[in-house]
Amino acid sequence: MLTGYNTDIKHEGAIYHIQTEDGGVDNPVIVSLIYQGGRILSSKKTSYAQIVGTEGFVSQLRQLLEGQHRDMINDVTSGQFTDDAVPAPSPSDPLPDTADEKNLDQVILEYLASELDSE
């Protein structure tokens, strides 16, 4: 299983988060999500079952992951979601109190750590 990609992009005053993950050979799918303001704006799921175990598998998988992630970034930068966008906070806006909230990366890391502990 390859690690995925996470990219934040600011486009026309809004911040978007693009996340692409590999499901692993037991679940051979690549899943990409576009988030903005806590909402999922778009998702894409691609099976790669047909290449599992083939020669150059890891290289092919990496190309698929990178390509799908790049396509999702292009969807954002082409303005596909501009009408649905929530403006990014300005530097003078007070930050919300998120001391008790975990970001997605923290939740994923905690989940992965718990999975490793249970093995």
Tokens in use for 116? 């490793």
C-alpha to C-alpha distance for 101 and 22, rounded to whole angstroms: 26
pLDDT tens digits, 11-47? 988 899 999 999 999 999 999 999 988 889 999 999 9
Domain definitions of the chain by residue range: 5-90
Which residues have C-beta within 8 Å of that of residue 107, sequence separation ≥ 6? none
CA separation for the pair 58, 113 (Å, rounded): 24
- Confidence bin at 104 (pLDDT 50/70/90): confident
Phi/psi-derived region of residue 94, left when phi > 0, alpha when psi is between -120 and 50, beta in every other case: beta
The answer to pTM > 0.75 is no
